[in-house]
Amino acid sequence: MLTASLHDNWVFSNREPYSVYTAANGHLGVQLFQQEWPSIRLILLDINMPVMNGEQTYKKLQQIAPDVKVIVSSSLS
């Protein structure tokens, strides 16, 4: 079962609405992206995630939409 949350927000620079989707792990993130990818312009991706790590998730996202923009983050030093 896909569980993700959607939050409606506003971009402060031009006041256009945008949506923020969250997923509990990489696998659910890929499923969410498959459903919503035409409307997703940017992904913030943690490199350390359960089920499917950031590198695996990134490769799957690239297979779905090679031009997707992704910012990869890690809390490791």
Whether residue 68 contacts residue 62, with contact meaning beta carbons closer than 8 Å, is answered with yes
User: What does the alpha-carbon distance between residue 28 and residue 51 come to, in Å, rounded to a whole number?
Assistant: 9
Confidence of residue 61 (pLDDT cuts 50, 70, 90): very high
Q: Is 50 exceeded by the pLDDT of residue 47? A: yes
Residue 3 has pLDDT above 70, yes or no: no
Structure confidence at residue 74 (pLDDT):
80
Predicted pLDDT at 63: 95
Alpha carbon 49 to its chain's center: 12
CB neighbours of residue 43 within 10 Å: 18
Across the range 37-59, mean pLDDT stands at 88
Coil vs helix vs strand at 10: strand
**15-41 residue pLDDT tens:** 566 778 888 899 999 999 999 888 888
Specify whether the CB–CB gap between 73 and 44 falls below 8 A: yes
